Amino acid sequence: MGKLFEGMVIFITGVAVPLIERDFNLSSALNGSVAAATLFGILIGASLFGNLADRYGRKFVFVIEMAIFTIAIALSAIAWNVAVLIFFLFCSGLALGADYPTAHIIVSESIPSRFRGRMVLGAFAFQSVGSLGGVLIGLLVLRVYPEVGAWHWMYAALVIPGFLVFLMRTKLPESPNWLVSRKQFELAHRAAKALLQRPVAIAQTHSDEGMQNPRLGYRKLLTPRYLRATVLASFPWFLQDLATYGIGIFTPTILATLFTKNQPNFVFQDMIATEGSGLIDLFLLIGFAVSIPLVDKVGRIPLQIIGFIGCFVGLGIASLSAASIPEGHELKVLFIFGGFIIFNFMTNLGPNAMTYVLAGEVFPTEIRGVGAGFAASFAKIGAVATAFFFPILREQIGTSFLLYGLAATSLLGALVTFLFRIEPNGRSLEEFNEKSFFNS
């Protein structure tokens, strides 16, 4: 549900940005700030709360983050000026950022290794369900209330679901894996029994390493032992987010610019572009549907490399079409839609899905929250940058050249993944606690 809300907020913002721009008479820079506010919050929240999840427990963060999200999105819905809106969208992003390490860890620390990947990926797939849902909410609100102020109701639609999820999360047990790493064996036994609804035997380890020192912190990530894992978890995710969030947030804007700019009715223009965006975003969900059965068979690394190459192909088709085919030609519509569809399918078959899975697997338990949180935060630097600069660069260099640049980042992502590859497929998380694994 945290992933669902993330997809909804970000893609609702994509639909709402043209309305907010008109409502508050925004410049390109402020327009980009609205789009980037949630992503910047995710950047900060993933690192901040990932560290707290290692120190104070997975469940503590998992519950608190949803309370923060519900309050922040409610206040975003009633924002009376752009500064207030940006602040509370940032706060909602803080909470959604916390969900990156904690949701992944809660699932992965409770699931057998033979199908851990597909379960983690199944949870993450709800980001795409939320992305499509966000577009549909935006479209529904525009149809019921076709006014510039419709964006208030788009955000308000998430308040009651957020509160219900907060209540549901309070019923979850703590991660037994985390409790064992803290030497709290009796509590770990109770949590595992509550999770599995049957008696469970807990192995009492006596190693002095790991959670005996809860302040391992971020400096460990850059030591020779963990550097390869840190680069693999962080940099390809950063490159992937450059393209995915740029395309995802501004697809309605791009389509409106290319295909409806002669339509005099502004709200109708946004509605038509949103319908086209919804069709394209459907392929995000299809990409996940294909990747879930493959992740534990093919492996994380092959899918990530193949996906990055497919993203390059999709963005290459779209950019060439935008640059070379005349305005109004039927092929222009066909190839740009086709390019975006290929991109959305391939990013969720590969890098958008696999970077998330890898970040929660390639670090040992004592720094898993910190590592996954750092990777998510580093990735969101790319998301924030593209969200903020996309409208500015689109004005300065045009849509086609911007898409060329994003296509190049996909090729680089494939290369980095290959060079720093670590394949967790079929391995238990306990293997990543052993020094021999990182020294091999």
Across all residues in the chain, what is the average pLDDT? Answer: 81
Question: DSSP H helical segments within 260-367, as ranges?
Answer: 266-294, 300-324, 330-349, 351-359
Tokens 């935006």 correspond to: 138
pLDDT at 271 over 70: no
Q: What pLDDT is attached to residue 210?
A: 45
pLDDT at 85 over 90: yes
CATH of the domain at 210: 1.20.1250.20
CB 61 within 8 A of CB 52: yes
For residues 181 and 201, give the distance between their C-alpha atoms in angstroms, rounded to a whole number.
15
| DSSP H or E stretch at residue 326 | none
Residue 102: domain span = 2-439
Closest CA to 319 of 245, 397, 240: 397
**CA of residue 204 relative to chain centroid, distance:** 36
Confidence of residue 326 (pLDDT cuts 50, 70, 90): low
Lowest mean pLDDT among 281-290, 351-360, 389-398: 389-398
Q: Residue range 211-225: average pLDDT?
A: 66
Q: What pLDDT is attached to residue 235?
A: 94
Q: What token pair was written down for 263?
A: 């339509």
Secondary structure of residue 366 in the 3-state scheme: helix
Cβ partners under 8 Å of residue 346, min gap 6: 287, 306, 307, 308, 309, 310, 311, 313, 314
Tally the domains of the chain.
1
Q: Residue range 303-310: average pLDDT?
A: 95
Instruction: Let me know how long the chain is.
Output: 440
For residues 120 and 213, give the distance between their C-alpha atoms in angstroms, rounded to a whole number.
28
Question: DSSP H helical segments within 200-265, as ranges?
Answer: 227-259
Q: What token pair was written down for 130?
A: 């939320």
pLDDT at 156 over 90: yes
* Cβ burial 395-408 (10 Å sphere, 16+ → b, else e): eeeebbebbbbbbb
Q: Residue range 148-152: average pLDDT?
A: 87
* Percent of the chain with pLDDT strictly greater than 70: 83
Neighbours of 276 (CB within 10 A): 22
pLDDT at 348 over 90: no
Confidence of residue 419 (pLDDT cuts 50, 70, 90): very high
Q: What pLDDT is attached to residue 121?
A: 82
pLDDT at 212 over 50: no
Q: What pLDDT is attached to residue 207?
A: 47
Torsion (CA) 404, 409, 415, 417 in degrees, nearest 10: -150
Cβ partners under 8 Å of residue 123, min gap 6: 3, 103, 104, 107
For residues 92 and 72, give the distance between their C-alpha atoms in angstroms, rounded to a whole number.
5
Cβ partners under 8 Å of residue 227, min gap 6: 221
Q: What pLDDT is attached to residue 232?
A: 94
Lowest mean pLDDT among 141-145, 257-261, 387-391: 257-261
Closest CA to 375 of 387, 364, 360: 360
Closest CA to 359 of 110, 128, 47, 1: 47
Q: What is the pLDDT of residues 14-36, one digit of tens each?
A: 788 888 888 888 776 777 788 78
For residues 399 and 419, give the distance between their C-alpha atoms in angstroms, rounded to a whole number.
31
For residues 140 and 144, give the distance between their C-alpha atoms in angstroms, rounded to a whole number.
6
Tokens 């079409």 correspond to: 321
Give me the half-sphere count of Cα atoms (radius 13 Å) on the Cβ side of residue 93.
25
How far, in Å, are 7, 99, 257, 304, 440 from residue 96 at the CA level? 10, 5, 30, 24, 35
Residue 363 main-chain phi, psi, to 5 deg: -115, 150
Cβ partners under 8 Å of residue 317, min gap 6: 335, 338, 339, 342
pLDDT at 391 over 80: no
Confidence of residue 100 (pLDDT cuts 50, 70, 90): confident
| DSSP H or E stretch at residue 132 | helix 126-144
Q: Residue range 171-180: average pLDDT?
A: 81
For residues 401 and 171, give the distance between their C-alpha atoms in angstroms, rounded to a whole number.
50
